[in-house]
Amino acid sequence: MSKHYPKGEQTRQKILEQAAQVFSVYGYAGTSLDALMQVTHLTKGGIYNHFGSKETLAVEALDYAIKEMQARFWEYLTDSRSSRARLLAVVQTFRSSIDDPRFAGGCILLNTAVEADDTNPPLKERAQQGIDDWLIYIKRTIHKGIELGTIRPDTEAETVASIMLATLEGATMLAKLYDEPTYMYRACDHITEYIESFLEENPT
């Protein structure tokens, strides 16, 4: 976390990183201020000096986790001009949440979306934005692929995006619930075949 941040910003980033781990395991409701104080080695005042409330910290911790997931996606993207590579990078990113989890509790975006529901509007809204980012990216990739001739013109972007995300997030939940990565591997194999089914073999 050293980078080029001022000391105060380094502390803030460290709090976000540590808090995201705790929230990913226990959720918003299950995370006590004592737990946050223990993991950050700060007093209540020290935490609130950087974040005005537990809810503010939770929202920003979720934002931090989403950015970490997006950064991992870019690591897996081998060719930004290829429709296939762009879509498979999404698959690989979700698979990594099981093979090489960044957060102890699994996908914090999924966990927050399930927990927040209608009980915490700010968290629900940020979770929706995180999901929207993936949906928009997939749909744009499909539209661009159709335009470039690398994806079949009858492919419905909205359908592809919803099926991909629902399958991958569902597999994440099952793999975590049963502590069985096979659920994710099967889903990734299935979605990979699905992607291949609407790619043009010989684009013009």
Distance CA 197, CA 191 (A): 10
| Residue range 69-86, pLDDT digits in tens | 999 999 999 999 999 999
Q: What is the value of pTM for the model shown? A: 0.89
- Interatomic CA distance for residues 16 and 51, integer angstroms: 10
Asked if residues 161 and 139 have their Cβ atoms less than 8 Å apart, the reply is yes
Q: Is the pLDDT of residue 1 over 50?
A: no
Say what the pLDDT of residue 51 is.
93
- Indicate the pLDDT class of residue 204, thresholds 50, 70 and 90: very low
Place of tokens 């975006």: 109
Any idea which architecture 7-197 has in CATH? Orthogonal Bundle (1.10)
The larger pLDDT score, comparing residue 147 to residue 201, is at 147
Lowest mean pLDDT among 4-8, 45-49, 155-159: 4-8
Residues in the chain: 204
Q: What stretch of H or E contains 161?
A: helix 157-177
How far does the chain reach from its first CA to its final CA, in angstroms? 46
pLDDT in tens, 88-143: 999 999 999 999 999 988 888 888 888 877 778 899 999 999 999 999 999 999 99
Q: Are 134 and 184 in contact (CB under 8 A)?
A: no
The residues spanned by each domain of the chain are 7-197
Q: Measured between alpha carbons, how far is 170 from 110 in angstroms, rounded to an integer?
A: 9
Mean of the per-residue pLDDT values of the chain: 91
Is there a contact between 127 and 119 (Cβ–Cβ < 8 Å)? no
